[in-house]
Amino acid sequence: MKNAVVLGASGGMGYSLVNELIEKGFKVTAFARNKAKLERLFGGKEGVGIVIGDAYAERDILNACKGADMIFHTVSVPYPDWTEGHPAIMKNAINAAKAENAKLIIIDNIYAYGKQNGKKVEETAQKSPHTKKGQIRLSLEKMVKESGVSYMILHFPDYYGPNAENTLLHQTLKPVSSNKRTIFIGDLNSKREYIYTPDGAKAAVALAMKEDSFGQNWNIPGSGVISGKELMQIFQREAAYTKPVLKIGKRTIWLMGLFDRNMKEMREMMYLYENPVILSGEKYQNHIGILPATPYEAGISKTLAYMKKNE
């Protein structure tokens, strides 16, 4: 039986990765710092061991990863902490992979690609990030590739799904689940891409189970592009949603940034809501097969059901 560790198991993608790894017969260690949340998510679940620790503390990561064959790194930190936080945590993950001779699977976003030309982005696309956060992500990628560990880097669009609470679409879905007025960040007419976290986890584990997937970057797209207006129509059908939506644009984000550090850091990412980066899944399909792609209607319905059950 293979041993896998999920760093950041209490987050949206981490939660789905733990469940998918169990489904595929792995013994899983779920690592995060919130004991109560880990126990709520995984307590008593067969095949899952819970380890509480701080991703900033190397000893905690090394302890969690003892005996690991694979380490899935899904840990993120608030935007204001990216400059120091992400390099420190990545260093700890790399050192753990070296100590255990384990494979390191990095769950990444699309920031390192920077602005693109509107075409679907393949793994060979030049990465010239124009934002601070994109440059940080690219530097982390370089750190991993120069570390000597066996790695793969997976690029995902924005998440939504069960337990995916630290996402922008969650901020829209949460009020919808209780039929309260919701918000939507960006242009309601602009089409963007989202990935349902269980789909992302299925794709990640499928790649991790193939030896020749390592030493490469992989783009994992969502279920196609969709506009804010189309999402609202799904909310109306799937959740009988009747309230109006408050659109939040660049000017509102700028004003909120005067008083909130996270909003201030978010300003530079607003380009993604005007010129979205859409990923190509052709490489994955040629290597593995059909991409997991739950239709938005089904994914949103399941996510809302999870919210209502766990509120």
Mean pLDDT by 10 residues, the chain (311 residues): 93 97 96 95 92 97 97 93 95 98 97 89 93 96 97 96 90 90 88 95 97 97 94 90 84 72 76 88 96 96 92 70
**Three-state secondary structure readout of the chain:** CCEEEEECCCCHHHHHHHHHHHHCCCEEEEEECCHHHHHHHHCCCCCEEEEECCCCCHHHHHHHCCCCCEEEECCCCCHHHHHHHHHHHHHHHHHHHHHHCCEEEEEECCHHHCCCCCCCECCCCCCCCCCHHHHHHHHHHHHHHCCCCCEEEEECCEEECCCCCCCHHHHHHHHHHCCCCEEEECCCCCEEEEEEHHHHHHHHHHHHCCHHHCCEEEECCCCCEEEHHHHHHHHHHHHCCCCCEEEECHHHHHHHCCCCHHHHHHHHHHHHHCCCCCECCHHHHHHCCCCCCCCHHHHHHHHHHHHHHHC
pTM of the model: 0.95
Can you give the pLDDT at residue 238? 85
Give a yes or no: residue 202 inside a domain.
yes
Return the CATH number at 62.
3.40.50.720
Predicted confidence at residue 202, as pLDDT, reads 98
The pLDDT assigned to 1 comes to 62
Residue 136 within a domain: yes
pLDDT at 272: 85
Distance (Å) of CA 159 to CA 19, 87, 107, 108, 263: 16, 22, 12, 11, 19
Asked if the structure places residue 183 within a domain, the reply is no
Indicate whether 131 belongs to any domain. yes
Residue 15 located in a structural domain: yes
**Per-residue pLDDT at 301:** 95
Please give the tally of structural domains in the chain. Answer: 1
Domain that holds residue 27: 3-160+197-222+277-293
Instruction: Indicate whether 150 belongs to any domain.
Output: yes
Q: Give domain status of residue 240, yes or no.
A: no
For residue 305, being part of any structural domain is answered with no
